[in-house]
Amino acid sequence: MTTELQTPELSYEKPLPPVLELTKPFWDGCREGVLQIQFCNICDLPWFPPAEACPRCLQDDWEWRPISGHGTVWSWIRMWQKYFPGWSPDEYPYTVALIKLEEGPYMYSTLVGIEDKDVSCDLAVEVDFRKVDDEITLPVFRPASR
Partner 1 sequence: MSSQPDRTDLRNLQDKTAIVGVGTTEFGAIYRDLDPERSAYELGLIAFREALKDAGLKRTEVDGVIVSRLPHYGRMCEMIGLRHPRFVNVLPGEGRQSGIALQYAALAVANGMADVVACIYGNNGRSAGAKYGGESRGISTQAMFEAPYGMTSPGAVTSMMFRRHQYRYGTTTEPLGHLAISNRANAALNPNAVMQRPITMDDYDGARYIAEPLCLLDYCLINDGGVCFIVTSAERARDLKHTPVLIHATSQASDITPVYVADDFWHEPMSQIADDLFAISDAQRDDLAFAQLYDNFTPTMLFTLEGMGFCEPGEGGDWITPERIGLHGELPLNTGGGHTSESYMQGWALHVEAVRQLRQECGERQVDDAQYGLYACAAPLATGHILRRGD
DSSP 15-76: --PPP-TTTHHHHHHHHTT--EEEEETTT--EESS--SS-TTT----EEEEE---EEEEEEE
Stretch of residues binding partner 1 (CB under 8 A), selected from 33-41, 56-64, 101-109? 101-109
User: Can you tell me the distance from the alpha carbon of 34 to that of 29, in angstroms, rounded to the nearest whole number?
Assistant: 5
Distance CA 90, CA 99 (A): 25
Per CB under 8 A, 64 contacts partner 1: no
78 sits near partner 1 (criterion: CB under 8 A): yes
CB of 45 to partner 1, least distance (A): 13
15 interacts with partner 1 by CB under 8 A: yes
Residue pair 128/113 in contact by the 8 Å Cβ criterion = yes
In the complex, least distance from residue 133 CB atom to partner 1, rounded to whole angstroms: 12
107 neighbors 113 (Cβ within 8 angstroms): no
Q: Is 79 in the site for partner 1 (CB under 8 A)?
A: yes
Contact indicator for 102, 68 with CB cutoff of 8 Å: yes
Q: Which of these segments, 33-41, 60-68, 77-85, binds partner 1 (CB under 8 A)?
A: 77-85
Of 43 and 77, which has the nearer Cβ to partner 1?
Answer: 77
Of 16-24, 30-38, 57-65, which part binds partner 1 (CB under 8 A)?
16-24
Interface positions with partner 1 (CB under 8 A): 14-18, 20, 23, 48-49, 74-81, 83-84, 87, 93-94, 96, 98, 105-110, 120-122, 136, 138
